Amino acid sequence: MEREIHHFNNKEITLKYDIIIIGSGLGGLQCAFILAKQGRRVCVLEKELHPGGCMQSYRRKGIALDTGLHYVGGLAPGNSLYPIFKYMNLMDLPWQHLDAEGFDRVMIEGRNFAYAEGLDNFVETLSHDFPAEREGLRRYADVMGEIGRHLHDAILPRDEVDFFNTSLFSQSAYEFLNETFHDPLLRNVLCGSSLKMELDKDTLPLYTFAQGNNSFIESSWRLKGDGSLLVDSLIEDIRSMGGEVICNAGVQELIEQDGKLVAALTVNGDRYEADWFISDAHPAVTVDLVKESSKIKKVYRRRIHSLANTYGMFTTSLILKPETLKYFNWNQYIYKKPNVWTYYLDNEPVSGVLVCCRVPEDSSSYTRYVDIVTPMPWDKVAQWSDTAVGRRGEDYCAFKNRKSDECIALAETFIPGLRDMVEARFSSTPLTYRDYTATPEGSAYGVRKDWHSPMMTLLTPKTPIPNLLLTGQSLTLHGLLGVSMTSLFTCAEILGKDAVYAITKTE
């Protein structure tokens, strides 16, 4: 790769690239992969010591613990995510196919319900428990199937307004469920595996809800290992194609000149120049990096900063004593009460969790690692918002320990005696995510989408600066599928839609 050498602050450094990407989360790395494979000179700048964003992992007691990756949907041939992951060589990773008869299981008040793989099986399995609701289940499955079939067509819409005004984005998920199903228990069951999105009855669009669930019903998978396998694979390929990924290089300012960005300045004093800039950071963080601009007006800044963010997550990661818990090949959701849409807003002990485990890495039938996850709105930790990692005080530690105890107690309704199996435990809150990923309020899914105003809350990759693009889960859809699709939207602004659409046809 050819490089230009400039002099800056009396030192000689590499400056010139075709594209600078800010942030090494999944969206940033996927954009880097696509663009590098198309022959562009790409450099990813990451503020942390380790790349990956919410896909990164950290080691405790010799075991790699995940920060955000738990399972992935749509990886079988013909599924939504398969062509993108195939194109990026991610299908070469060791994937574990989850139980097709019940990859997700939802326990409400002690009664367990299974999500089966495939829309027809999904309908049949739940119809056994709710025979009077078969017609509604079929209608819901048809909506998911239609969205899934046309997912990649969104890259080539007739026009952007048509796509972002589609009726499913401007329709309430909560109202659709109430209109389609008569049994309130079934409505809770159908939403019980939706910790993969924010269940907000006032705002959640039907498209977000249906698309988020459809890909997992297509097929569900776990990595046989931690999320760094995915991150390392992308970075290795990016570098092999001439790209660079530089950590400990936080961008502190984007410099505009004559209406276009010309450089990114990092906290260590380096200056990186490029023709294009892509930000995988939160949109509000991105606009703040452009301190002086003739293109970004105050009204645009106010709009981006006024967008509400989804809630964060509290995670308890458990390292278990050897040979104490048999591996279970599904994700278990547990709720004390049938109040799946509102339980996380209560000031009561934790009453809803996701429990999932690591595929055994020693070929045994026992797992050594369990994650317990529950939503946590920002106001639960806001009192410590002015503190930093490792310096939050005894009250914060006591808060985390109490929430961890509550998570374990609820998980014990599924795994009796879990507490006695624990060798060590570690926990994180939205504050943790805020400090490591620079996401406002430690949001788990970025900007909250609102069916009342899809045009205001669904962001395109374009910004008022013509060579500054956005990517990541705050734009259109979140999760691995949403971020992957958004990376295609972003790259299409540089490569053209036809070139990017071809990626979705990878066999």
196 and 267 together in one domain: no
Where is the domain boundary, 168, 186, 218? 218
Where is the domain boundary, 218, 252, 276? 218
Q: Is residue 31 part of a domain?
A: yes
**So what's the pLDDT on residue 2?**
39
Domains held by the chain: number? 2
Range of 255's domain? 5-62+227-307+449-505
Q: Is the dihedral of CA 418, 419, 422, 424 positive or negative?
A: positive
201 and 270 together in one domain: no
Give Cβ neighbours of residue 153 (< 8 Å, ≥ 6 apart): none
* CATH number assigned to the domain comprising residue 252: 3.50.50.60
* CA nearest neighbour of 256 among 199, 227, 219, 297: 297
Q: Is residue 360 part of a domain?
A: no
192 and 240 together in one domain: no
Give Cβ neighbours of residue 197 (< 8 Å, ≥ 6 apart): 204, 208, 209, 212, 310, 445, 478, 479
Q: Is residue 33 part of a domain?
A: yes
Q: Is residue 444 part of a domain?
A: no
**So what's the pLDDT on residue 58?**
85
Give Cβ neighbours of residue 457 (< 8 Å, ≥ 6 apart): 307, 447, 448, 449, 450
pTM over 0.85? The answer is yes
* CA nearest neighbour of 447 among 170, 200, 201, 191: 200
168 and 188 together in one domain: yes
179 and 255 together in one domain: no
212 and 273 together in one domain: no
12 and 48 together in one domain: yes
Chain centroid to Cα 50, Å, comes to 18
241 and 300 together in one domain: yes
200 and 237 together in one domain: no
**So what's the pLDDT on residue 162?**
52
- Assess contact for 354 and 373: CB atoms under 8 A: yes
Q: At 337, list the tokens.
A: 């009460």
Q: Is residue 157 part of a domain?
A: yes
186 and 125 together in one domain: yes
244 and 204 together in one domain: no
Chain centroid to Cα 504, Å, comes to 20
Residue bearing tokens 């079939």 = 149
Q: Would you give per-residue pLDDT tens digits along the chain (507 residues)?
A: 334 444 344 444 547 999 999 999 999 999 999 999 999 999 999 999 999 988 888 888 888 888 888 999 999 999 999 999 999 999 999 999 999 999 999 999 999 999 999 999 999 999 999 999 999 999 999 999 998 888 887 787 655 445 544 577 899 999 999 999 999 999 999 999 988 899 999 999 999 999 999 999 999 999 999 999 999 999 999 999 999 999 999 999 999 999 999 999 999 999 999 999 999 999 999 999 999 999 999 999 999 999 999 999 999 999 999 999 999 999 999 999 999 999 999 888 999 999 999 999 888 999 999 999 999 999 999 999 999 888 999 999 999 999 999 999 999 999 999 999 999 999 999 999 999 888 999 999 999 999 998 888 889 999 999 999 999 999 988 889 999 999 999 999 999 999 999 999 888
**So what's the pLDDT on residue 164?**
47
Q: Is residue 176 part of a domain?
A: yes
Q: Is residue 197 part of a domain?
A: yes
Where is the domain boundary, 196, 218, 240? 218
Q: Is residue 128 part of a domain?
A: yes
193 and 238 together in one domain: no
Distance CA 158, CA 150 (A): 13
**So what's the pLDDT on residue 6?**
42
Residue bearing tokens 């002690």 = 110
